[in-house]
Structure 1
Amino acid sequence: MHLIKQAAIAAAFSLTATSALAQEVTLRFQHFVSPASANPTYFMQPWADAIEEQSNGRIKVELYPFMQLGGAAPSQYDLIRDGAIDGGWVIPGYQPNRFPEAEAMELPFMTTKSGEEASAAAWDFTQQFLMDDFADVHLIAAHMHGPGIVHKRGEPVQTVEDFAGLKLRGPSRPATLLLQELGATPIGMPVPQFPEALSKGVVDGGVITWEMSPSLKLNELTDSHTDVAGDRALYNLYFIWAMNKDVYESLPADLKAVIDANSGMMASRWAGHAHDTGDVGGRALMAADGNEIAQLSEAETARIKALGETVTANWIAEMDAKGFDGAALVAAARKAVEAHAGQVN
C-alpha cells in the first residue's frame, strides 16, 4: 500500500510537470526593422497572435525588433541555427555566396510587382531548390517584398544616364550588380544602416520598397522616388521566416501542428501580402510630404531591362562555373513567377 501510494504521487507529479511544460512554451523571434513597418505589423504580429490563439495560449511568441536579442542582421540565420534565438526573419542575401541559388528569385525584373504573387513563386522555388540549403533550421515561410524603388536626394532619375556616379545602397548581390550595370556606385548594406548612411552623405540614395520608406524616414532623408514602367519589379529580395530546428522538434505533436498550420504557402503569401499592404501606405506618405513620385518611361525601362539581361546572363555563367545549372535555375524561377502571376487571393 505504501509503495502504491508513492507510485501514485510520483505519477501525479510527472503529469503535473508535463502539463505545466506543455502549457508554457515561449518562442523568442527576432527581426531587424521597426515594429511599425509592414511585415511586423501585417504578418509577424498577426502570425504570433494566431499561434497563441490556436494553441489555446500554450505557445507565446515574443517579437524582438531591431536585433534586440543581439547580433547583426547578416548573422540572423546563424543565430537561429545555433539556438541563440528561437526564430526570426532572415535575408539570405545578406551573406553573399552562401545561398547562391536563392539569388535566382532576386534577378532584375524576375518578379511581378505583387509581393504576394512573388512570395507564392518563392515558396515553390524554395521547395524545388533550397530545402537542402536551409536544412539546419525549420523553415516556416519563404517570401519576397513588393517592387524595389529608387529613392534619392534631389531630382528623380529619368534616364539610364542619370544613374552615373550615384552612390546607391543595394540590399543584395543581384541588386548591386544591376546598379553597377546602370553606372551607379553600388554600396551593399543591411537596411538598418541605410538612414544613417543617407544622413551622413555616405550614399546619395538607394533601392528599397515603398513600405519601408516611412520607418526609415525617407520622406525626410530623400526627395524623389522612382519606379520602372510595366508590371515587373526593378529588383526584389528573398526572405525566410524560420525557427530553430531543435526547438521545433521538441514541441509536442499538437503544438507542432499549430506551427505547421501557419507555415508553407499560406504563410509565404501572407508575408508577401503584408508588404503589398505597406507599399500602399508608404507611397501615399511620401507623396503627402511633398516628395516627387516618378516613373521611368517605357523606353528607359526597356534600356534597363536590357542591362538586367546582361546581369542575368553573367549570373548564369557564374553559377555554371560553381557547378550549378544557372539557366535551369533562372528558367525555374521564371516558371514559378508565371504560375502565380495574377493569382492574388
Structure 2
Amino acid sequence: MFQITFLHRAVAALTLGVAALAPAQAQEVTLKVHHFLPAGSYANTQFIQPWCDKIARESANRMKCQIYPSMQLGGTPPQLFDQAKDGVADVVWTLPGYTAGRFPLTEVFELPFMMQNPEATSKALWDYIQQFDQAEFKDVHPIVFHVHGDGVFHMREKPIRTLADLKGLKVRAPTRQTNRYLAALGATPVAMPVPAVSEALSKGVIDGAVVPYEVVPSVKIQEIVKFHSETDPAEPAFYTSAFMFVMNKARYAALPPDLKKVIDANSGQALSGQIGKVFLSADGEGKKLTAKNTTNVIGREELANWKKAGQPIVDGWVSEVTAKGHDGRKLLDSARSLIAGHLAGK
C-alpha cells in the first residue's frame, strides 16, 4: 500500500512538473504587424504576409502575425515608427522619409541617381546602417531595410520628356530629398504618403506623382492618369525610397531564445536584398496595369541635364550632415561603394 501511494505521489509530482514547464516551452506569440498599404498591395502579399507565414512555419506555429494593413491600428503613416518604438504595434513597415529630417543619415540612399538595382542597393542599405547609422534606429529592433525599384512619373495631362516639362507642375514625392530634387528640376513638390495620392490626383490637387510601378495597383493610379514617364533603365534611378521593417525592442527582448532565433533567421542583409528583388518583380506586375496609357522613356542624354540639376541636392546633403558632426563626404562615398560592391556581387 505504501509503495502504491508513493508511486502515485511521484507520478503526480512529475506530471505537475511537466505541466509547469510546458507553458514556458510552448509559449505562443502573436505579433501585431502594422503598415499603411491595403491588404491586396504587393508589399503585403509578396513581402509581409510571406514573412509572417515563414516565421509561423519555422516556429511550429508558436509565433504568428496579426497583420493590420491600411493603418487599421490607427494613426498616420508618419507615426508608424513611433508605434513600433512605443509598443502600439509589434512590427511596422514604413519609410524613414515619412518623418522628414528624423533619419538624415539614411537619406543618402534617397539622393538623385543613387540606385540602379533594388536587390544590391537594399543589401548596401542594410550594411550602411549597421556600419554607420545604428543610432538612428536604436529605439527599435531592425528586421529589414530595403529600397524599391525605379521611380516613375505618373501624370494626369502630359508626359515628362525634358526638364522644361516639369516647370510649375505640382508633383507628389515621398521624402524630403526627393521633394528637394523635384524643386531643383522646376516642379512644385507636394509631400504626401502613398495612401493620399489617389484622392489628390482625382481632385487635381496635384498634376502627377512619382512612385514605382509596384504602387500602381494599390492606389489605382492607372485609372486616374494618362501618362507614365520612365528614365533610361541603363541609368541609375532618378530617385528611390528607403523602407524599414522594424520590431518593438521590448517585444523582441521578451521572446524566448528559440523564437528570437526565428526572427534572427528572417532578418538581415540577405533578406533585405531578397525584398528589394521582390519589389523589382512587383514593378513588372504593376506596369501591366498601365498598358492602356501612354508611356515614354527619358533618355540618357536628357538625364545628363537632370544629374547636373541634382548635384546641388547631393552637395547640400553632405553639408547638412557634416554640420551635424558627421563626415558627410565619407558617408556618401561609403554608400556608393557599398552599392557598387553588391552590384559586382561582392
- Compared CA separation, residues 95 and 178, structure 1 to 2 (3 A): same
> 2:99 is matched with which residue?
95
- C-alpha separation between the residues in 1 aligned to 2:76 and 2:13? 51
- C-alpha separation between the residues in 2 aligned to 1:129 and 1:76? 23
Determine if the alignment matches structure 1 residue 219 to structure 2 residue 234.
Answer: no
Which amino acid in the other structure matches residue 287 of structure 2?
R
- C-alpha separation between the residues in 1 aligned to 2:22 and 2:264? 27
- C-alpha separation between the residues in 2 aligned to 1:266 and 1:62? 25
> 1:210 is matched with which residue?
213
> 1:48 is matched with which residue?
52
Q: Residue 32 of structure 1 aligns to a residue in which SS? A: coil
> 2:43 is matched with which residue?
39
User: Structure 2 residue aligned with 1:247, among 239, 247, 251?
Assistant: 251
- C-alpha separation between the residues in 1 aligned to 2:65 and 2:235? 36
Determine if the alignment matches structure 1 residue 127 to structure 2 residue 127.
Answer: no
- C-alpha separation between the residues in 1 aligned to 2:96 and 2:220? 25
Structure 1, unpaired ranges of 5+:
none
- C-alpha separation between the residues in 2 aligned to 1:52 and 1:175? 37
CA positional deviation for 1:315: 1.6
> 1:338 is matched with which residue?
340
- C-alpha separation between the residues in 2 aligned to 1:8 and 1:337? 58
- C-alpha separation between the residues in 1 aligned to 2:220 and 2:345? 32
Larger Rg: 2
User: Structure 2 residue aligned with 1:237, among 229, 238, 241?
Assistant: 241
Determine if the alignment matches structure 1 residue 11 to structure 2 residue 11.
Answer: no
Query: Map of 1:1-345 to 2, 5 A cutoff?
Result: 11-20=17-26, 22=27, 24-112=28-116, 114-229=117-232, 230-287=234-291, 290-341=292-343, 343=345
Q: CA RMSD in A?
A: 1.8
- C-alpha separation between the residues in 2 aligned to 1:291 and 1:284? 10
- Do the aligned residues in 2 keep the contact of 1:39 with 1:271 (CA within 8 Å)? no
CA positional deviation for 1:163: 0.4
Q: What do residues 245-287 of structure 1 show as CA deviations (whole Å, max 9, x unaligned)?
A: 1111111111111111111012201211111111011112101
- C-alpha separation between the residues in 2 aligned to 1:342 and 1:139? 26
Structure 2, unpaired ranges of 5+:
1-5
- C-alpha separation between the residues in 2 aligned to 1:85 and 1:239? 17
Count of matched residue pairs: 339
- C-alpha separation between the residues in 1 aligned to 2:345 and 2:71? 34
Q: What do residues 51-73 of structure 1 show as CA deviations (whole Å, max 9, x unaligned)?
A: 01111111111221101111111
Structure 1 length as normaliser, TM-score? 0.94
Task: Tell me the percent identity.
Answer: 42
Moved more, 312-321 or 171-180: 312-321
- Do the aligned residues in 1 keep the contact of 2:37 with 2:69 (CA within 8 Å)? yes
CA positional deviation for 1:10: 5.4
Q: Residue 32 of structure 2 aligns to a residue in which SS? A: strand
- C-alpha separation between the residues in 2 aligned to 1:12 and 1:298? 69
- Do the aligned residues in 2 keep the contact of 1:141 with 1:268 (CA within 8 Å)? yes
Q: Residue 39 of structure 2 aligns to a residue in which SS? A: coil
Q: Residue 245 of structure 2 aligns to a residue in which SS? A: strand
Which amino acid in the other structure matches residue 169 of structure 2?
L
Which amino acid in the other structure matches residue 30 of structure 1?
H
